[in-house]
Structure 1
Amino acid sequence: MISFTAAKTLKHHTKSINALAVSPDGAVLLSGADDAVVVVWNLRTGEKLQEIHCTFNGPISAIAWLGTSVTNNTFIFGCADGSLHLYQRSDCAAAFVFKSSSTAHEGIVEDIVYDPHHNRIASVGGGASAVWKVTGTGSLTDLVKSDPRGVYIAKSVRFCDKGASIVVFYLESHEVVCHSIEPWALKWSKEVPTRIGHATLSPDETSLIISNLYDGLDIYCFPSLERVRSLPHPILQNYPMQVATTGPGDRWVLCGGDDGFARLYDAQGGHLLATLIHGDPGLLVQAVTGFTDEKCCLIVTGGSSMSSICAKGMKVSPPNDIKVWEHKPSSISSRRSIPEKPDSNLHLWQILLAVILTAFVVTAMNALILSDTAVPRIERLLNWSSPSPQEQALVELMRRLEEERSQDLYDF
């Protein structure tokens, strides 16, 4: 198990939290809720920086940052009336200001994602998908607006093929549909065995994680959709729970929960890494997100007041708050606190030298043994002076080796 500390509790929203997004540099958190408010938080201090009210557009249902860790001054969010709203700031010290809004869908905006390769946004809502281009002035130009796929709910959307395509996930029909963007064309359509409450792709686009609304999570190879692993957990209340990848190399899978806590899994091994207890049993934790850099791993969970009565019929106090969880891996300095062993290094050097010298001597002796005149040559080399006992022993050893070699040749 991995240890996480509840570093901060952020309170402002009065209704269920639906969307969370950490800026690419890990400094700012966005939260959106059923109270039709977007709150901008300083993630390092927990300070509330700004409130954005959208009373006439309804609950905030999806939110996403636009940009990279260098340029993270723009974000977009979607509302229950199908509208998209884009906000921007001039620098990190300034407040976000409204830039543009668009009527995107005939129904609640279910999901929004950003593609940094082409500076595009994809959204789904009302059973349809759309792709948008962000202009230099902060307005949205629609590139594609698809027709609704029957009566089915398009629950999630992701870019793939480095932004050249989008893949849309449908709740009831189990469908996973991929379209190329330019030109807009159907590339493939497949089905998974379960419903799709929420879905996400790994950053390298090789794994697909689905919350199946049945017995937990399923991990598929992408795009073959071969199921390679299941991460089962009990489901007490059948609400869609968000899933996300985080941790070192995005090898961890984070998912919300319906009993007061979120879960963190190892995607490769499939075992549970941590349970993050957000609130009382029965509390929905639907909104989750994560951020990882070389210093720490942050996980953010949001409470939902839809669980004012838990599965056991007990009334709970539903906190519509946000918790920030922190895990700090062992630092380089702590690893260096272990004393070094210079003596061991010295012994290693001596051993290497001894091995080299031994190999040299063995090679020389083998060369002498293979020579028919090895012993006479050694004796001639030693005749110029009085041989020492060690030299005489060497000559005697060489003589015996040559005799044994001659006997072996004779026997053969």
Structure 2
Amino acid sequence: SAYVELHKLQGGHSDTINCVAFSPNGAYLASGGDDYALVIWNVSQGRQLYRTLFRSSVDYIIWHPTLPDTVIIGCSNGTLQQFHEFSLNNSEQHDINLGARSTIHYLDYDANSGRLAVSMGEEVHVTREKRPNYYVGDVVLPSPPAPEGMEDEDPRLRAIALRFHDDGAALVVSYLAHGISCWDTETQQSRWHIPMPDVRPNMQVIRALCGISPDAYLLSGGAAISPHHRYITVYNVKDGLDLYALGPQKKAKAKRSYKFDKPPRSKHLLQVKYVHRGHGIISGSTSGQVSIWETTTGEVCQKLEHGGERRTCIRPILFSHKLSYVATGTAACGQNTYIKIWRARI
């Protein structure tokens, strides 16, 4: 059924919202932004529970799948922390120290193996939580094959989506300009690779998305892997989303496309997410509108109007069999910075 607006959360952020994530039980929402703030919200009541500041923008947040009331936070200055409990008396911050320090783009955690994958700068790191809040080891995955025809241009490496596979034994990495690779986390060998399709964005777009252009702006995300690990859907930085089959391919060919009604107003990466157990795909836009498509047909199920803001970043989560929540955050400043929570009964 259609999503309806449940809450409009204001007052927690004063600058662009980079990431939002629901807790495993759906009771809480964590958000991070360019105002250096991490905010924890009560979803059912639509109110702020806790707010703390870091020394740089909070770019990515995930909830720990096994430790209650715990989030893992990545910041633009390379800060990587596990934040536990949310009160003035009991909050704890535990640093996750890797062999490098750079901007955090994406995080994924595998509950079966206790492994944490981190897209950091131009590298992808994998570490393991030996006991609560204590990580050991640091493995850096090799660089993917260089895109054909781009060797001389040397586009910057950037992993825009990570997803553990095979109980943590493999990691699927989607790169901005280097295609999609599946890496064995034990041997660091490539299991398979999907090259960048011919419709890839041009070098001017890639350089802008990499942050070389002074007016470039990056939203975490840009690709999503289906719950059954059969497909990956990628924002093509042109006119919508493209769906590809996961696995070894000599030449990438989109099996289905999901088109925007309006062309992008600016060349920025948008977040993509599977919902409804993989039956739906949702994406933000640069025009203040959020679209939900049916995965198999490509038809638009619903559009969530966000008030006409210039940009919208989104990270929706399906958390139960009966209720579905979607959270959408604006890329704006001041009073135009807010989060909307949408609810639907399934």
State TM-score, norm by structure 1. Answer: 0.70
Task: Note closer, same or farther for the CA distance 1:54–1:257 as it changes in structure 2 (3 Å cut).
Answer: same
Give, in whole Å, the separation in 2 of the partners of 1:140 and 1:66: 13
- Asked if 1:287 is matched to 2:314, the reply is yes
Query: SS of 1:325's equivalent?
Result: strand
- Asked if 1:192 is matched to 2:196, the reply is yes
Amino acid in the other structure paired with 2:36: A
- Asked if 1:140 is matched to 2:140, the reply is no
Aligned partners of 1:19 and 1:33 also within 8 Å: yes
- Asked if 1:29 is matched to 2:29, the reply is yes
Aligned partners of 1:83 and 1:103 also within 8 Å: no
Residue of structure 2 aligned with 1:241, choices 270, 273, 276: 270
- Where does structure 1 lack aligned partners over 5 or more consecutive residues? 309-316, 330-412
The match for 2:6 is 7
Give, in whole Å, the separation in 1 of the partners of 2:132 and 2:68: 16
Aligned partners of 1:126 and 1:148 also within 8 Å: no
Give, in whole Å, the separation in 2 of the partners of 1:328 and 1:252: 15
Amino acid in the other structure paired with 1:170: Y
The match for 1:38 is 38
Task: Note closer, same or farther for the CA distance 1:236–1:201 as it changes in structure 2 (3 Å cut).
Answer: same
Larger radius of gyration: 1
Task: Note closer, same or farther for the CA distance 1:318–1:285 as it changes in structure 2 (3 Å cut).
Answer: farther
Residue of structure 2 aligned with 1:207, choices 226, 231, 237: 231
Aligned partners of 2:192 and 2:247 also within 8 Å: no
Query: SS of 2:322's equivalent?
Result: coil
The match for 2:339 is 322
The match for 1:98 is 93
The match for 2:148 is none
The match for 1:109 is 104
Asked which structure has the greater RCO (Cα within 8 Å, sep 6+), the reply is 2
Residue of structure 2 aligned with 1:153, choices 128, 150, 158: 158
Structure with the larger helix share: 1
Aligned partners of 1:10 and 1:46 also within 8 Å: yes
Give, in whole Å, the separation in 2 of the partners of 1:216 and 1:72: 37
Displacement of 1:3: 2.1
Matches within 5 A, 1:252-331: 252-280=280-308, 282-305=309-332, 319-329=336-346
The match for 1:170 is 175
Task: Note closer, same or farther for the CA distance 1:264–1:134 as it changes in structure 2 (3 Å cut).
Answer: same
Give, in whole Å, the separation in 2 of the partners of 1:95 and 1:3: 39
Aligned partners of 1:283 and 1:318 also within 8 Å: no
Structure with the larger strand share: 2
Once the two structures are aligned, what percentage of the paired residues are identical?
25
Deviations along 1:149-203, whole A, 9 cap, x unmatched?
Answer: 6632222222122321112222133x21221011222222221312596111111
Deviations along 1:311-336, whole A, 9 cap, x unmatched?
Answer: xxxxxx8711100001113xxxxxxx
Displacement of 1:283: 2.0
Deviations along 1:377-398, whole A, 9 cap, x unmatched?
Answer: xxxxxxxxxxxxxxxxxxxxxx
Task: Note closer, same or farther for the CA distance 1:4–1:177 as it changes in structure 2 (3 Å cut).
Answer: same
CA RMSD of aligned residues (A): 2.4
Residue of structure 1 aligned with 2:82, choices 79, 82, 86: 86
Displacement of 1:135: 2.9
Aligned partners of 1:25 and 1:72 also within 8 Å: no
Give, in whole Å, the separation in 1 of the partners of 2:116 and 2:314: 21
Amino acid in the other structure paired with 2:134: S
Task: Note closer, same or farther for the CA distance 1:145–1:274 as it changes in structure 2 (3 Å cut).
Answer: same
Give, in whole Å, the separation in 1 of the partners of 2:229 and 2:177: 24
Query: SS of 1:291's equivalent?
Result: coil
Displacement of 1:148: 5.9
Give, in whole Å, the separation in 1 of the partners of 2:78 and 2:315: 22
Say which is worse superposed, 24-33 or 146-155, in terms of deviation: 146-155
Task: Note closer, same or farther for the CA distance 1:87–1:262 as it changes in structure 2 (3 Å cut).
Answer: same
